[in-house]
Structure 1
């Protein structure tokens, strides 16, 4: 026989259901936001039933916010320096299409995670606040130069972009550490022309070297000729008749002591210098 429904029999199951619901909400609603090393966390609440929500605090990693009853969540922002690379294909001042990369090393000031999230788009801060301005500065500088002059002025271009970007970021939580231009790639026709120019310069350098060698050789020959002429001049001034007679007498004395008797001396020359005739 069914028992009649009473207030007690109705309230007891409802109390059990409410208790289980609250317990489940407590167990599933608890969170423990944490932030890894090198990052800062923006803790905020997304309430399901109670609470006003919004910003709850910041964390500097590595750390935990602690277990909370409500739906506290966290957005972690990497504060360490990171390299952001932009690829460019720009018309230089002489209307040649130049391809290259430009790298910027950026970091975020410590303690500024709340500002980064609420004003600059959280994880998207680079795309929303920095990227297009950075690209504009690069384009403006590159287009001032002819294509051939770009490589020669790459340091100057990087310095100019760095100055402008630092000024732009001065009042923001973002810090520019360095900017670097990557490889500059010319169109194929320009690359071929540059190679030919370098080859021609190399050949010209070789020709200049050969010319210098030839000039040195000519100078050496001139000096040798001068030396021979000077020697001949000295010999001509010293070949006096008395000297020649003295030399002839010495030659005769040497030959007289020689076992070779096939030579006859006839002293009928000038100043007694003999005419020499060989006999068989």
Structure 2
């Protein structure tokens, strides 16, 4: 059996290990041969190549989070400090073109400058207080849409832009808090007034009901009805087994008990 010199074996192993690489899940590879980028991408798996003429440039295609702290201009000319998260990903099929035209430091070259420009354009249309209230979601969406319109054709997808913290100037922050407290007090007072109006309306309705009932009763008490009711009372008294004395003027009976006669 033919044997090989250990030096040859070592060179073979070295050549074998340096002529292949592993592209992991969530990334693709761009093949560069003698300075030229091939348009085909290397998909996840083991990729073989000639280490003397070719290199595999790996680019992540999973979602990447960039943390940025920057001042944002407001409509009234104030500067608002903010911590921002930019969630983006690279389109795998565009990796060769990105590596060829931009390079591997595409975050500093393209994404961050586009973000700074888009953020300044959007926030300059809003008041500082809007960044601290319910308008924040609208600002985030507008920045994301503007960045997408500028970067999608270049191979980048902006998933979202998140304004995580907004630091307002001390005077403005206090003014906003005082305004919010005043609005809450006004809403609370409006609730109390509405409740009082409802109670007053209830009392009016109750009084009108009592008035209408009394009016109906008064209109129904005619002399003939009163005389008829008196005759009914005489009949019920006469049928009673108890001893009693009835004093009447012929219209209204008055009942006296034996104790009252003693």
**Alignment match, 2:62:** 80
**Alignment match, 2:52:** 70
Residue-by-residue CA offset, 1:132-162 (whole Å, 9 max, x unaligned): 2212211221121113334443454344334
**Alignment match, 2:28:** 40
Question: Which of 235, 246, 252 matches 1:253?
Answer: 235
**Alignment match, 2:254:** 276
**Alignment match, 1:128:** 109
Once the two structures are TM-superposed, the CA of residue 27 in structure 1 deviates from its matched residue by 6.0
Structure 1: unaligned runs, 5 residues or longer: 1-18, 46-52
Q: Distance in 1 between matches of 2:51 and 2:147?
A: 44
TM-score by length of 1: 0.68
- The structure-2 alpha-carbon separation of the partners of 1:56 and 1:255, relative to structure 1 and needing over 3 Å to count, comes to closer
Say whether the 8 Å CA contact 1:97–1:186 is kept in structure 2. Answer: no
Structure 2: unaligned runs, 5 residues or longer: none
Once the two structures are TM-superposed, the CA of residue 246 in structure 1 deviates from its matched residue by 3.3
Q: 1:218-237 maps to which residues of 2 (within 5 A)? A: 218-236=203-221
Q: 1:1-280 maps to which residues of 2 (within 5 A)? A: 28=14, 31-34=18-21, 35-44=23-32, 53-55=34-36, 57=38, 59-66=41-48, 68=50, 70=52, 72-94=54-76, 98=80, 100-122=82-104, 124-150=105-131, 151-172=133-154, 174-183=155-164, 185=166, 187=168, 189=174, 192-193=177-178, 195-236=180-221, 238=222, 240=223, 242-265=224-247, 267=248, 269=249, 272-273=250-251, 276=254, 278=256, 279-280=261-262
- The structure-2 alpha-carbon separation of the partners of 1:162 and 1:103, relative to structure 1 and needing over 3 Å to count, comes to same
- The structure-2 alpha-carbon separation of the partners of 1:105 and 1:255, relative to structure 1 and needing over 3 Å to count, comes to same
Say whether the 8 Å CA contact 1:104–1:176 is kept in structure 2. Answer: no
Say whether the 8 Å CA contact 2:244–2:255 is kept in structure 1. Answer: no
TM-score by length of 2: 0.72
Say whether the 8 Å CA contact 1:105–1:179 is kept in structure 2. Answer: yes
Deviates more, 1:136-145 or 1:210-219: 210-219
